[in-house]
Structures are given as C-alpha cells and as structure tokens.
C-alpha cells in the first residue's frame, strides 16, 4: 500500500534529509527511472531540476507536457549544474564515477536512488530479487504466484515498470528486480524477503572487480528481513549473516527448498515434503529448477499459499529471450537465450542440456574473462558460431578445443549453424555478451535470431515439404 502524502514526506525527511522547503534536488538521467523520479517528486511538491548528458533527452517533451516548464541541463555533465545541490537522485544507467558527480559528493551532496524513495513510500512487504542471472524469471514467477494466491502484487523495478510507477494504494505486496547499479545507491530498502540468486562476472566495465560487484549485490540484504540463500553459490553463501532469519535453496544438495527423489521421481521439495514433480515445471534446465526453488522460498517467506505457488509454476512458460524455443525443424531445435548477456548465464544455459549443443555467442564482453567459458564449451558444445565485437576474444580463449565459425551477421550465423546441425541437435543463441555493439538491445538481438530461424525454416519447408513447428513456449 502507498502511504499518504504527508507520511511519505515525513519519512523522506527523516531517512534521507529531503525537505520540501529547503532541499535542492538534481535528477540525474532522464531515462525510464529518471522520468518516474520526476513525476514522483512533482506529486509531492518538491522543487528539482534535471540533468542529462544527451543534448535532446528522449522523454523531455512528454515530461514538460505533464509537469510544466521544468529546468533541464542537457549535454555533457557540468560540475556547475550540481554545485548548489543538496541531493542527487542518480539513475542506474549513470556511473557514480562521473567526474561531476564525484566532485559534487566531495562537497557534501548526498546521492540516492529511486529505490530509497520507493522504500520510504510503502508500508506493505517488499520482496527484493537480484543476481547475475535468473532475476527476471524469479521476479515474474513470484508475481504470478502472488496472483494465483489472490494477492495483489506490484511487479517491476529493473524489470518492466519502474519502481516508483508501481506505487498503488491497493497493492498488498511489491516484487522488485534490482540491479547492482540500483543497489549501489540504496540504503533504505529493508525488504521483507530478499535474495541474491547467484554471482558471476558481469558489468565489470562499471564495477572495479567481481568483489565490488558482489558487494553491491549484497546490499539487497540491508535491513532485517528474511535472507533467501543459494547454498550452491559460494559467493552468495558467504553473504549469510548470523542471527538473521534464513531460508536456503539448492539443486545440488539438501536445503530448505531442494530437489529430491521419491520412488525414483524427482520433485521440488520443501524439507521432506514433495511439492510437485520436477517434470511438471514447463522449463527445461536445472538452472530453471533453481529459479523455481528460489521463488518458492521467497513466496514462503511472505506467506503465499503453497498450492497456489505450485499451480503458478506449472503454468509458467518462461519469458521471451530466456531459453525460449523458437522452432523445431528437421529434428533440430532452435532456442533463443539472448538475455544471456554474461558468462554465468551462458554456462547455466549450456549445462541445462544433457546433450551437446551448437552455440551462437559473442557481442560486447564488458571486460569479462572469456576463459571462464572454456570448461563448459569443451564439455557441452559440438561447435561454436561467433559474431560481434569480442568474437576474437572468445575464439582466442577457445583455442581450438571445439570447431569455431566466425560470422558478421545473425542471418549468416543461423545459416552456418544450420549447416552444422543434424537431427537431434539444439542450436542455442546464448551470447555470454551484451548486445549493444550490433543491436538496439538483447530483445532486438533475439528477435533477429528468431526471424532468421523462421526464414530458414520456411525456406526449407517450401523447398522440400519438411514438417516444422514454431513455438513461443520457453524450454
């Protein structure tokens, strides 16, 4: 539930030093988050200005239509723009290492993020979900579990709707996906239940090293809520705090929520209790079993009905661009995992198969060490098709342990993969890299993969009458 205006203003002043009469606020960055912050501040009566490094921020005209003639500093950040600020509300896409921000902070300016504003504005439980991989899937799973249980949940954050745009007087629960960039500027969260699903090398172009990245992820546990811990990940296991209420999950060993066998059948289990057969989870891959267990643990922490949660899992067909089956043709399965923008996600996807796959990978590695991929590639791939900015880094790391084919376009990569594949093979787009070197975003990359695959399938069908099947069901 959203608090009333006067209570929110009192909380903002007590917790963040924000005062309607005296605070001088700069909203830094006018993307989705920045626009949501501007609307939020205006509704509460705060005065603020906006700073954006672009000459023509994309949302400025709509914002002015809604809020009037607000002041905007556009173009390269200038220290003078921040010189009188008491608070900078910095969007996740803006590094805190920007010179103008660092200079302003050195003079005593406070940096906060949208999640702190959100946390001061609600009095119902928040579930906070972060991790290198799986956080969008778990966030969506939990939202659907709440819906099945008859609980009105606001679902968003780093996924879909910005957190501040979720504020609703009738919400019973909020489920937030949070990135490391959101967490590094958060101090007020205190979620009722929180998890770091896993930690693998990611965003090392923005974080000093993986230790710094993990430290920011750990901030999701600020407060005294239930810690949901993945005991299979040693980095996450080290985050456990003695004395805190904790629920564990694992796909490798016994935990509060785990996989176990009864009469030879694998089940998702809570302790000794079998909740549902693993085979009834309509998502392929052990990493998706881990996502389901994490969702069950988080739902249990906030009191969701067990049967409703299992019902939601049995109906959950996955998210676009996340292990999404695009087509089956001539015995070959084509899978779109374009959301795998880091090494850990790619490894999890490949290891989810019992057979070797043909991997399409590459893009912007974001400073990650591609050698971490090699044990999995050597064990679990038949061939690798590479494209994008850092294809050479991956090929150098592979060093001939499996056949490598270099391509310049997605259409070419799909064609080459098709020439290698035989009946029974899976061709998996799981890039292990970001997409912005060649595409608008990972969705654009996945869409182009799907278009190329369907073009190939249709062409083959027209040529030889072969039967094919396309699907939007996640595997």
What CATH number is associated with residue 67?
A: 3.40.50.720
Dihedral of alpha carbons 161, 298, 133, 112, sign: positive
Same domain, 271 and 408: no
What's the whole-number mean pLDDT along residues 219-244? 96
Q: Which of 135, 321, 339, 405 is catalytic?
A: 135
- Evaluate whether 256 touches 224 at the Cβ level (below 8 Å): no
| Residue 475 in domain | no
Which range is least confidently modeled, 57-66, 321-330, 342-351? 57-66
The reply to whether 55 falls in a domain is: yes
Residue with more model confidence, 440 or 64: 440
Shared-domain flag, residues 291 and 333: no
Determine which of 54-58, 303-307, 398-402, 471-475 has the lowest per-residue pLDDT on average. Answer: 471-475
> What is the rounded distance in angstroms from the CA atom of residue 181 to the CA atom of residue 7?
28
Residues 385 and 410 in one domain: yes
- Annotated active-site residue 269? The verdict is no
The 10s digit of each residue's pLDDT in 92-140 is 989 999 999 999 999 999 999 999 999 999 999 999 999 988 999 999 9
pLDDT in tens, 17-51: 999 999 999 999 998 999 999 999 999 999 999 99
Instruction: List the catalytic residue out of 133, 158, 291, 336.
Output: 158
Residues 443 and 346 occupy one common structural domain: yes
- Domain containing residue 375: CATH number: 3.90.190.20
Clarify whether residues 83 and 202 are in a common domain. no
Domain CATH for 236: 3.40.1190.10
282 and 177 within one domain: yes
Residue 259's domain spans which residues? 117-314
Q: Please identify which residue in the block is written with the tokens 């969701």.
A: 304
Helix 135-148 / helix 286-301 crossing angle, nearest 10 deg: 50
One domain, residues 180 and 264: yes
Q: Do residues 127 and 175 touch, judged by C-beta distance below 8 A?
A: yes
Residue 469 pLDDT exceeds 60: no
Looking at 76, 95, 112, the residue that finishes a domain is 112
Q: Is residue 199 domain-resident?
A: yes
Same domain, 98 and 121: no
Structural domain contains residue 302: yes
Which uninterrupted H or E stretch holds 96? none
| Count of the separate structural domains present in the chain | 3
The fraction of the chain above a pLDDT of 70, given in percent, is 95
Residues 203, 207, 287, 339: which is the catalytic one? 203
Mark which of 73, 90, 112 sits at the end of a domain.
Answer: 112
pLDDT band at 208 (very low <50, low <70, confident <90, very high): low
Evaluate whether residue 319 is within a structural domain: no
Q: What is d(CA 470, CA 454) in angstroms, rounded to the nearest whole number?
A: 8
Instruction: State the pLDDT at residue 259.
Output: 97
Q: How far is CA 88 from CA 54, 84, 115, 194, in A?
A: 18, 10, 13, 26
* Residue 466 predicted with pLDDT over 80: no
Q: Are 150 and 182 within one domain?
A: yes
Does 203 qualify as catalytic in the annotation?
Answer: yes
Active site residue 158: yes
Q: What is the pLDDT of residue 1?
A: 62
Where among 112, 138, 165 does a domain terminate? 112
Residue 408, in any domain of the structure: yes
Residues 222 and 334 in one domain: no
Kindly state whether residues 264 and 300 are assigned to the same domain. yes
- In this predicted structure, what is the pLDDT of residue 475? 29
Q: How confident is the model at residue 472 (pLDDT cuts 50, 70, 90)?
A: very low
Please indicate, yes or no, whether residues 167 and 46 belong to a single structural domain of this protein. Answer: no
């Amino acid at each position: 539930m959203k608090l009333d205006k006067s209570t929110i203003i009192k909380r903002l002043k007590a917790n963040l030093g924000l005062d309607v009469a005296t605070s001088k606020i700069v909203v830094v960055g006018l993307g989705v988050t920045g626009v949501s912050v501007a609307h939020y501040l205006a509704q509460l009566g705060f005065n603020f200005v906006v700073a954006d490094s672009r000459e023509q921020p994309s949302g400025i005209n709509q914002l002015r239509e809604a809020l009037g003639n607000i002041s905007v500093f556009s173009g390269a950040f200038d220290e003078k723009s921040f010189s009188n600020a008491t608070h900078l509300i910095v969007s996740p896409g803006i590094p805190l290492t920007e010179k103008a921000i660092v200079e302003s902070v050195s003079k005593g300016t406070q940096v906060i993020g949208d999640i702190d504003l959100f946390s001061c504005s609600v009095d119902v439980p928040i579930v906070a979900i972060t991790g290198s991989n799986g956080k969008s899937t778990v966030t969506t799973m939990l939202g659907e579990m709440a819906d099945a249980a008859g609980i009105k949940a606001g679902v968003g954050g780093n996924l879909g709707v910005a957190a501040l745009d979720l504020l609703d007087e009738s919400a019973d629960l909020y489920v937030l996906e949070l990135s490391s960039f959101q967490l590094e500027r958060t101090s007020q969260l205190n979620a009722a239940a929180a998890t770091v699903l896993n930690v693998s090398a990611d965003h090392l172009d923005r974080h000093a090293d993986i230790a710094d990245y993990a430290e920011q992820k750990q901030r999701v546990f600020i407060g005294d809520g239930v810690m949901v811990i993945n005991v299979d990940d040693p980095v996450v296991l080290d985050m456990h705090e003695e004395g805190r209420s904790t629920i564990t999950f694992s796909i490798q060993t016994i935990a509060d929520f785990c996989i176990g066998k009864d009469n030879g059948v694998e089940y998702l289990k809570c302790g000794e209790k079998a909740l549902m057969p693993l085979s009834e989870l309509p998502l392929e891959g052990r990493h998706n079993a881990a996502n389901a267990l994490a969702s069950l643990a988080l739902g249990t922490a906030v009191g969701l009905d067990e049967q409703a949660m299992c019902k939601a899992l049995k109906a959950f067909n996955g998210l676009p661009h996340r292990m999404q089956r695009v087509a089956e043709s001539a015995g070959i399965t084509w899978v779109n995992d374009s959301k795998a923008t880091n090494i850990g996600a790619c490894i999890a996807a490949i290891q989810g198969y019992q057979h070797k796959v043909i991997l399409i990978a590459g893009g912007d590695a974001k400073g990650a060490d591609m050698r971490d991929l090699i044990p999995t590639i050597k064990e679990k791939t038949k061939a690798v098709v590479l494209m994008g900015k850092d294809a050479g880094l991956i090929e150098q790391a592979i060093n001939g342990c499996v056949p490598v084919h270099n391509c310049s376009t997605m259409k070419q990569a799909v064609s080459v993969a098709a020439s290698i594949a035989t009946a029974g093979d899976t061709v998996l787009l799981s890039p292990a890299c970001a997409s912005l070197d060649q595409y608008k975003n990972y969705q654009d990359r996945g869409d182009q993969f799907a278009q190329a695959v369907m073009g190939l399938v249709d062409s083959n069908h027209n040529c030889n009458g072969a039967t094919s099947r396309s699907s939007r069901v996640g595997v």
